[in-house]
Amino acid sequence: MPRGSRIMLDHPHKIQAYLNESVPRLQSPSASFTIHYWGIDPAHFDNPVHQHSFFEICYVREGEGMYMDGDDLFPLRKETLFLSRPGIRHQIRSKRGMFLLYVAFEVNEENTDPAIVRHFRQLAAADRILITDAYANPTTLIWTALLKHLQEPAPITEHYVKSAALSLLFSFCSAFQAEAPSEGLVTSGYKPASYALNRAIRFVKDNLSHSMTLAEVADYLHLSSRHLSRLFQQELGMSYIHFVQQEKIRRAVHLLKHTDLSLIEIAEKSGFSSIHYFTRSFSRKMGMPPGKYREAVHEKKALE
């Protein structure tokens, strides 16, 4: 596609809804992926410093900003692709807003060919995380073709959409040099509230050790704190604070059962501000302090 040639997205939220409803998973004979979310944001501003347990690839169609990856800072401008790797704290910044496309996904390794798994593990450790002037890059060409198909008035071919989406995911490996391994736009089954809540839950779990506030999570999702609070109450029947506390205890229980980390380390990784607060909260929820709980787990295993 010639430089400067681009499609106009007249209904970005409708297209985003269609992708999230129709392409939550991708499967081929050799690979399986879970898509956590597709995004088309015509005005993406700052988000909080955070991390994911999965990949997120972004494409700047318009605008300028900055991208923080660990301790490094990169300029963002029109026609830039950039990679957020699993486990790396990062942040997108833009004072005037950017038109951003993005997709977040992970490889289902147990259902994927080992050679492909290796390529995506290399992607997770890639040194190259940003590509400028990417207008002719195969990744952006595939992404643009996918969106163009979704803009057409003719009936959408779901098989084409999934094939193009799968090609897009595979293209990321070569783009960042990790070696390459039917009817209209209908969204009747898509629930924006569930989509937003699922993203919030994933974000909280991925950043549990950093104790993200309701306002920070809402800002990341471009929602008001009041709206996000209402989602937790309506969909889960609990407040945001209650949910976070529940996840902290779950994380602590998992680490107590399956690791030899010290109680102080477990408190930190579970998002508790001090060992005393951790012990008090855990005891109140589980009926015994964390040290006693670990002993009980080990005794039970020894008897089995």
DSSP string, 191-242: -HHHHHHHHHHHHHHHTGGG---HHHHHHHTT--HHHHHHHIIIIISS-HHH
User: Is the same domain home to 170 and 240?
Assistant: no
Backbone angles phi, psi at 86, to 5 degrees: -55, 135
| Least trusted range by pLDDT, from 21-25, 54-58, 197-201 | 197-201
Tokens read off for 128: 């190259």
Interval 255-281: pLDDT, tens: 999 999 999 999 999 999 999 999 999
User: Is the same domain home to 165 and 252?
Assistant: no
Q: Which of 191, 139, 141 is nearest to 168 (CA)?
A: 139
pLDDT-based confidence at residue 170 (cuts at 50, 70, 90)? very high
Q: Is 267 exposed, middle or buried (0-12, 13-18, 19+ CB in 10 A)?
A: buried
Name the more confident of 53 and 188.
Answer: 53
Q: Which of 263, 241, 240 is nearest to 253 (CA)?
A: 263
User: Is the same domain home to 88 and 150?
Assistant: yes
* 21 CB neighbour count, 10 Å cutoff: 17
Res 86: pLDDT:
95
- With respect to residue 149, please indicate whether it lies within any of the assigned structural domains: yes
User: Is the same domain home to 156 and 206?
Assistant: no
Q: Which of 258, 232, 240, 249 is nearest to 288 (CA)?
A: 249
Domain end (from 146, 175, 204): 175
pLDDT-based confidence at residue 155 (cuts at 50, 70, 90)? low
User: Is the same domain home to 111 and 256?
Assistant: no
For residue 163, is pLDDT > 70? yes
- With respect to residue 277, please indicate whether it lies within any of the assigned structural domains: yes
Res 6: pLDDT:
46
User: Is the same domain home to 30 and 148?
Assistant: yes
d(Cα 240, Cα 243) in Å, to the nearest integer? Answer: 5
Contacts of 276 (CB under 8 A, 6+ apart): none
Provide the domain limits for residue 98: 12-175
Domain CATH number, residue 49 = 2.60.120.10
Query: Whats the size of the chain, residue-wise?
Result: 304
Res 112: pLDDT:
92
Domains in the chain, number: 2
- With respect to residue 99, please indicate whether it lies within any of the assigned structural domains: yes
User: Is the same domain home to 60 and 156?
Assistant: yes
Average pLDDT on 3-7 reads 43
- With respect to residue 163, please indicate whether it lies within any of the assigned structural domains: yes
Domain end (from 120, 149, 175): 175
User: Is the same domain home to 170 and 52?
Assistant: yes
Res 234: pLDDT:
84
Question: Can you state the percent helix, strand and coil of the chain, rounding each to 5?
Answer: 50, 20, 35
Res 297: pLDDT:
85
* 236 CB neighbour count, 10 Å cutoff: 14
User: Is the same domain home to 16 and 141?
Assistant: yes
> DSSP state, 190?
-
User: Is the same domain home to 152 and 283?
Assistant: no
Q: pLDDT over 70 for what percent of the chain?
A: 90
Interval 203-226: pLDDT, tens: 999 999 988 999 999 999 889 999
Domain CATH number, residue 212 = 1.10.10.60
Res 63: pLDDT:
96
d(Cα 209, Cα 201) in Å, to the nearest integer? Answer: 14
User: Is the same domain home to 99 and 230?
Assistant: no
Res 182: pLDDT:
37
User: Is the same domain home to 228 and 148?
Assistant: no
For residue 3, is pLDDT > 50? no
Query: Is the entire prediction scored with pTM above 0.75?
Result: no
Res 149: pLDDT:
87
- For the chain, give the mean pLDDT: 88
